[in-house]
Amino acid sequence: MAKQLSRREMLKLMAAGSAAVVGSPLMNAVAESAGKPPAQDVIEISYWQAPIWRLGKDVKTVLGPGSDEWILDAIARFEAENAGIKVNMELIPWDQWSQKLATAFASGDLPNVLYSNLAADRVQAGLFEPVDDYVTQEMNDDWLPGMRESLTMFGRLYAVPAFPSADMAALSKTALESHGGAGIFEAIGEDRGGLTFDVMEEYGKEFGDGATRFFFGVPTDHGSVVYWMYGAWLNGWGVKSWSDDEERWIVHEQDAAVEAFQWLVDAQNESKVLIPNLPKWSDVDTFYWSQNCVMRYHWPSIEVELAVAQEAGQAVTPFEIVLTAYPHTEEVGPFHTNQPPGHYTICREPDTAKREAAFKWAFWLGNDTSNTLSWVADVGVFPVNKSGVAAIADSEIMQNPNKRWVVDTYLQKFPGGFAGGNWQPLNNARTAKIWNQLDPWNWYIQELQSLLLGQKLPLEMLEEMAARINGALGTA
Amino acid sequence: MAQSKTPYSMAADVQQVRSRREPPTPLGRIRDEIRRSNKWAYLFITPLLLDFLIFTVYMVISVVALAFQEIYYGQSEWVGLRHFEWIFKDPQFWNAMKNTLIYTIIVVPGGILLALILSEFIFRRSQRVQVFYKSAYYLPSVVSTAILALVWSWIYNPFYGILNFFLSIFGVEPVSWLTNPKNAMLSIILMSIISGVGVSVVFLTAAMGGIPPELHDAAKIDGAGNWARFWSVTVPLLRPTLLYLFVVGFISNFQVFEQIYIMTQGGPGYPGATETVGYLIYSSAFTSLNLGLAAAQSVVLFFAILVFSVIQFRVFASEVEY
């Protein structure tokens, strides 16, 4: 006869079961560590990275967005050179990047090395370690002018520069030659600094048909609206976004800002040089790759993206891109956006050995000349130091006219625009915190949509934005 | 020896019986329940119970606690009702609540009505045809909402979408389905109704199978036509199923997020034409890192759903026979 379980026996059984569930991973861990040699000589560091590489480790084979082949190879090379350090990378897809960082910043549970994300409020909250102590005179002297200064806050260097984050306008030469408007290249001049709003309109009308072909594409579903349409676009009209102490948003106080946004509305409705109907990023991609749009804002990595699109049969071949300075008025003249360079932050870490190892990895990745060619070819960005520039000066890729123009003209001859790309309160911790809590990455997009939909006039939009931002800051 | 006789007391008897039948304390009741029931059952429900306690009860309590705090970069500060004060005077939140209500009020009854009509047609067909249609309608339910939203985004694309292509054949100008504030919410509602109808069809056809055929036969003998039998026999007997679909549909649709996130990001325009409370909570938490505010918005959403669910039970349940 089956024995009935008593209550006590049942509770014992449940307790034993629960203990087994909880204890088994612990026992596994103990067993695993017992079988290994002592690990005190190896310093393990965690490293979070967005998938910015698209090519294989040969820096030629097209593998597509999110490829990890190159970075895995780089980690292996670094670990071979630095036997005492192990890099544990987490390559986080772009669609999970913001959620991952949001929860990590909220909890303060961050990796040792983090791609990008330096901000004054985060520095003030003690999330990042200053790295000045690890920077030697030699490193310092090797960095290109402005790199160190852009990442210095409250008098200390808080990130390791990895690449100048140049963004610009990209014209499709092939499309202009096919459908009209190629005269624009003569109009903007040899230094590619003559792209004014009037030039855009004139050649835009020549290229477009107002129904299927449009000169300019602005992705209206993407966070890039914040830094391109409220940063670079306004900069081109001479509109400064923040007061000097960054305690106020001042765009609405400048007549040129109204003019800047009215130009966009008219470009959509009147001259029809702007893609209408609130195109998404993917729509602008489709227009651009199929030669139905010739200008967009982008990073120089657009040439790598073109290779990926051609490989996938999404872009026509041949396809020639000409990078130029952002559009601007005659008075403002050509400028580069003055964005802080791409960088790595070293997150709060009590263990000094780990901190040092983290810096070593971050510096090696962005500054070692063995990696320079990859950054240029694979990611489309440029060296952060003089030795990097020299290392690739004679390489095949640097014979590309766009690359040469960025290095020789855009970054060196054109002045920088308003600080921080003209969109973010870069150096004021209080303002940065409050502004971020206003959800600009969604809200700015919706405001631009309202404008292009005709729901609001430019001044109405700007005053509404000012009331919300400055109201939250207490400086309305 | 003479036996001492105590007078009979009925009240004492009742007390004795009651004390045997009803354990006096809640703990005693639990003890009695354990003694009485199958003990193995507790072992088997333990994993799910733990899951419920940790991932539901604990999480809900944490969210409520979070609603009264400001969480920033690993530090927390009690801020009392500050987040709730902000919510109640924030036009963006009330716009989101309005959008959520419009979405739910159209999607839930609209979806159930469509499912009811389809079920009535399907149920009259042969078994084989029924299986085919039920599978066809149910298929979108096994696909993730994210994929469906992506596919519908392509269908609705103003430049290359197949819907505008078909309309152009009839000379209709391209329509801005998702980029015109007047059309955007309706386009998402249409997608949600069409994609979600399968589940209701399966429930309703199963419930129709449980209706005794004699009732229909009797109605037929009384001269009732198809419509009269559907309206006066089928629909009343489907009430328990309809109530379930209403309540569950209301709760899930009130939390709509995926299609908004993928198709419109709450836009177009500001305040967002399709911004729902679910999407606003996501934005507050993950793009502006304001976890306390997001938690407070979640608490308000919870109470809104609770109130509407209670109302539905009050309105419908009194007439439902289980």
Asked if A441 lies within 8 A of B269 by C-beta distance, the reply is: no
Asked if B269 lies within 8 A of A450 by C-beta distance, the reply is: yes
B228 plus B201 within the same structural domain: yes
Q: Residue B42 has what pLDDT?
A: 82
Cα separation, A426 vs A343, whole angstroms: 15
Q: Residue B288 has what pLDDT?
A: 82
pLDDT tens digits for range B125-168: 888 998 899 889 898 888 999 999 999 999 999 998 999 999 99
B123 plus B160 within the same structural domain: yes
Name the more confident of B289 and A199: A199
Query: β-pairing, A85-91 with A43-49?
Result: parallel
Tell me, what CATH number does B135's domain have? 1.10.3720.10
Q: Residue A346 has what pLDDT?
A: 97
Q: What is the DSSP letter of B69?
A: E
Which residues are within 8 A (CB) of B40 and not within 5 positions of it... i.e. 6 or more apart? A5, A10
Between residues 198 and 237 of chain A, which touch chain B (CB distance below 8 Å)? Answer: 220-221
Between residues 134 and 173 of chain B, which touch chain A (CB distance below 8 Å)? Answer: 157-160
**Closest Cα in chain B, distance from residue A444 (Å):** 9
- Location of structure tokens 């609206």: A225
Residues of B in contact with A443 (CB under 8 A): 270
Count CB neighbours of A472 within 10 A: 15
- CB contact at 8 A, A226 and A436: no
Between residues 86 and 105 of chain A, which touch chain B (CB distance below 8 Å)? Answer: 98-99, 102-103, 105
Cβ pairs A/B, distance under 8 A:
112
Cα separation, B31 vs B34, whole angstroms: 5
Cβ of A412 under 8 Å from any chain B Cβ?
A: no
Asked if B73 lies within 8 A of A446 by C-beta distance, the reply is: no
- CB contact at 8 A, A200 and A258: no
Of B54, B84, B114, the residue that ends a domain is B84
B262 plus B303 within the same structural domain: yes
Left if phi > 0, otherwise alpha if psi is -120 to 50, otherwise beta: which for A414? beta
Q: Residue A16 has what pLDDT?
A: 59
Indicate the residue of B42, B159, B270 with minimum beta-carbon distance to A446. Answer: B270
Cβ of B108 under 8 Å from any chain A Cβ?
A: no
Indicate the residue of B160, B267, B291 with minimum beta-carbon distance to A286. Answer: B160
B40 plus B124 within the same structural domain: no
Alpha helices, DSSP H only, in chain B?
10-21, 26-36, 39-52, 59-66, 82-88, 91-123, 127-142, 145-156, 162-169, 181-209, 213-221, 226-229, 235-237, 239-254, 258-263, 277-286, 291-317
B216 plus B287 within the same structural domain: yes
Between residues 178 and 217 of chain B, which touch chain A (CB distance below 8 Å)? Answer: 179-181
Asked if B75 lies within 8 A of A279 by C-beta distance, the reply is: no
- Residue B1 belongs to a domain: no
Instruction: List, in sequence order, every residue forming a beta bridge with B72; answer none if it has no partner.
Output: B75
Nearest chain A Cα to B71, which residue?
A106
B239-254 and B181-209 are packed helices; what angle lies between their axes, rounded to 10 degrees?
Answer: 150
Cα separation, A139 vs B228, whole angstroms: 87
Residues of B in contact with A447 (CB under 8 A): 270
Asked if A437 lies within 8 A of B180 by C-beta distance, the reply is: no
B256 plus B313 within the same structural domain: yes
Cβ of B88 under 8 Å from any chain A Cβ?
A: no
Range of weakest confidence among A27-31, A293-297, B99-103, B170-174: A27-31
Residues of A in contact with B174 (CB under 8 A): 277
Indicate the residue of B74, B160, B287 with minimum beta-carbon distance to A107. Answer: B74
- Location of structure tokens 């899951």: B51
Interface-testing mutation among B179, B282, B297, with chain A (most A C-beta atoms within 10 A): B179
Looking at the 3D structure of chain B, how many domains does it have? 2
Residue A156, token pair as written in the block? 């200390």
B240 plus B226 within the same structural domain: yes
pLDDT tens digits for range B21-48: 655 687 887 777 777 777 788 888 999 9
B65 plus B96 within the same structural domain: no
B75 plus B94 within the same structural domain: no
Instruction: List, in sequence order, every residue forming a beta bridge with A172; answer none if it has no partner.
Output: A321
Instruction: Determine if the peptide bond prior to B271 is cis (ω within 30°).
Output: yes
Q: Is B302 exposed, middle or buried (0-12, 13-18, 19+ CB in 10 A)?
A: middle
Cα separation, B274 vs A223, whole angstroms: 18
Indicate the residue of A102, A277, A453 with minimum beta-carbon distance to B269. Answer: A453
H, E, C per residue of A381-398: CCCCEHHHHHHHCCCCHH
Query: β-pairing, B75-78 with B69-72?
Result: antiparallel
B170 plus B31 within the same structural domain: no
Cβ of B268 under 8 Å from any chain A Cβ?
A: yes
Would you write out chain A's pLDDT as a tens digit for each of its 476 residues? 445 555 566 556 555 555 555 455 445 544 444 545 444 579 999 999 999 998 999 988 989 888 999 999 999 999 999 999 999 999 999 888 988 998 898 888 999 999 988 999 999 999 999 999 999 999 999 999 889 998 999 999 999 999 987 899 999 999 999 999 999 999 999 999 999 999 999 999 999 999 999 999 999 999 999 999 999 999 999 999 999 999 999 999 999 999 999 999 999 999 999 999 999 999 999 999 999 999 999 988 899 899 989 999 999 999 999 999 999 999 999 999 888 899 999 999 999 999 999 999 999 999 999 999 999 988 889 999 999 999 998 998 899 999 999 988 998 899 999 988 999 998 899 999 899 888 898 999 999 999 999 999 999 999 999 999 999 999 98
Nearest chain B Cα to A447, which residue?
B270
**Domain range holding B133?**
89-317
Report the first-to-last Cα separation within chain B, whole angstroms: 63
Asked if B181 lies within 8 A of A17 by C-beta distance, the reply is: no
**CATH fold for the domain made of A168-335+438-473:** D-Maltodextrin-Binding Protein; domain 2 (3.40.190)
In angstroms, what is the C-alpha Rg of chain A?
26
Indicate the residue of A108, A126, A438 with minimum beta-carbon distance to B288. Answer: A438
B56 plus B144 within the same structural domain: no
pLDDT at B3 over 60: no
Report the first-to-last Cα separation within chain A, whole angstroms: 83
Indicate the residue of B72, B75, B287 with minimum beta-carbon distance to A439. Answer: B287
Residues of B in contact with A17 (CB under 8 A): 43, 46
Interface-testing mutation among A7, A122, A124, A278, with chain B (most B C-beta atoms within 10 A): A278
Asked if A105 lies within 8 A of B268 by C-beta distance, the reply is: no
What phi and psi values does residue B270 have, to the nearest 5 degrees? -130, 130
Residues of A in contact with B179 (CB under 8 A): 277-278, 449, 453
- Residue B183 belongs to a domain: yes
What phi and psi values does residue B10 have, to the nearest 5 degrees? -65, -35
Residue type at position A222: H
- Residue B6 belongs to a domain: no
Nearest chain A Cα to B86, which residue?
A472
- Residue B178 belongs to a domain: yes
Segments making up each domain of chain A, as ranges: 43-164+340-413, 168-335+438-473
Q: Do the interacting molecules here have an ipTM over 0.95?
A: no
Residue type at position B102: I
Indicate the residue of A109, A436, A443 with minimum beta-carbon distance to B270. Answer: A443
Residues of A in contact with B288 (CB under 8 A): 436-441
B54 plus B183 within the same structural domain: no
Residue type at position B224: A
Q: Which of A102, A141, A139 is nearest to A122 (CA)?
A: A102
Q: Residue B26 has what pLDDT?
A: 79
Cβ of B72 under 8 Å from any chain A Cβ?
A: yes
Question: Which is it for the CA torsion A185, A188, A193, A197, positive or negative?
Answer: negative
Indicate the residue of A10, A108, A446 with minimum beta-carbon distance to B43. Answer: A10
Q: Residue A166 has what pLDDT?
A: 85
Segment B106-116 mean pLDDT: 96
Interface-testing mutation among A277, A314, A441, with chain B (most B C-beta atoms within 10 A): A277
pLDDT at B20 over 90: no
Thinking of the domain A43-164+340-413, which architecture would CATH place it in?
3-Layer(aba) Sandwich (3.40)
Cβ of A454 under 8 Å from any chain B Cβ?
A: no
Asked if B39 lies within 8 A of A7 by C-beta distance, the reply is: yes
- CB contact at 8 A, B288 and B282: no
Indicate the residue of A7, A17, A442 with minimum beta-carbon distance to B265. Answer: A442
- Residue B283 belongs to a domain: yes
Half-sphere exposure of B312 (CA within 13 A, CB side): 21
Nearest chain A Cα to B264, which residue?
A221
Q: Residue A2 has what pLDDT?
A: 45
Of B47, B67, B84, the residue that ends a domain is B84
Asked if A287 lies within 8 A of B289 by C-beta distance, the reply is: no
Residue B287, token pair as written in the block? 């793009």
Residue A66, token pair as written in the block? 């999110």
Cα separation, A465 vs A254, whole angstroms: 14
Report the b/e string of B46-78 with b at 16+ CB within 10 A. Answer: eeeeeeeeeeeeeeeeebeebbbbbbbbbeeee
- Residue B8 belongs to a domain: no
Residue A346, token pair as written in the block? 């070293």
- CB contact at 8 A, B104 and B311: no
Residue type at position A307: A
Residues of B in contact with A446 (CB under 8 A): 266-272, 275
Residue type at position B209: G
